[in-house]
Amino acid sequence: MMNIMHSALRRLDLNLLPIFDAIYRHRSVRLAADELAMSTSAMSHALSRLRITLNDPLFFREGHRMCPSVYATQLAPSIASALNYLNQELTPQPKFETSTSTERFQIAITDFTAFCIFPALMHKLQQEAPGLHFELLYLPHSPALTELLAGEVDLALGFSTPDEARHPELEEITWLENEYVVISNQNRTQLTLEDYLAARHLVVTPWNEKRSVLDLQLELMGFIRQIAIKTPSMLSAPFIVAESDLLMAIPRLAAEKLLPAMNIKIFALPFEIPSFEVKIYSHIRSGKRDATNWLKSVLQQLAKEINSEQ
Domain annotation covers residue 1? no
Span 10-37, pLDDT tens digits: 778 889 999 999 999 999 999 999 999 9
Q: State residue 202 phi and psi, 5-degree precision.
A: -105, 130
285 against 246, higher pLDDT: 246
Both 269 and 285 in one domain: the answer is no
Q: What is the CATH number of the domain that holds 25?
A: 1.10.10.10
Which residue, among 64, 72, 74, has the nearest Cα to 47 in the 3D structure?
A: 72
Span 118-151, pLDDT tens digits: 999 999 999 899 999 999 988 766 667 778 878 8
What pLDDT is recorded for position 278?
87
Q: Cis before residue 260, ω within 30 degrees of 0?
A: no
Both 172 and 282 in one domain: the answer is yes
**Average pLDDT of the chain, as a whole number:** 88
Q: What is the CATH number of the domain that holds 256?
A: 3.40.190.10
Domain annotation covers residue 96? no
Span 61-101, pLDDT tens digits: 998 899 999 999 999 999 999 999 998 888 777 788 999 99
Both 184 and 264 in one domain: the answer is yes
What pLDDT is recorded for position 88?
85
| Residue 1 in this model has a pLDDT that exceeds 60 | no
* Cβ pair 43, 29 in contact under 8 A: yes
| Residue 177 in this model has a pLDDT that exceeds 90 | no
What pLDDT is recorded for position 2?
43
Both 186 and 256 in one domain: the answer is yes
| Residue 308 in this model has a pLDDT that exceeds 80 | no
- Determine what percent of the chain is predicted with pLDDT higher than 70: 93
Please give the Cα distance from 113 to 119 (Å, whole number): 10
| Residue 225 in this model has a pLDDT that exceeds 70 | yes
Both 254 and 303 in one domain: the answer is no
Mean pLDDT for 255-267 is: 93
Both 46 and 63 in one domain: the answer is yes
Q: Which domain holds residue 64?
A: 9-88
Mean pLDDT for 274-298 is: 86
Both 141 and 187 in one domain: the answer is no
Looking at the structure of the chain, the number of domains it has is 3
| Residue 47 in this model has a pLDDT that exceeds 70 | yes
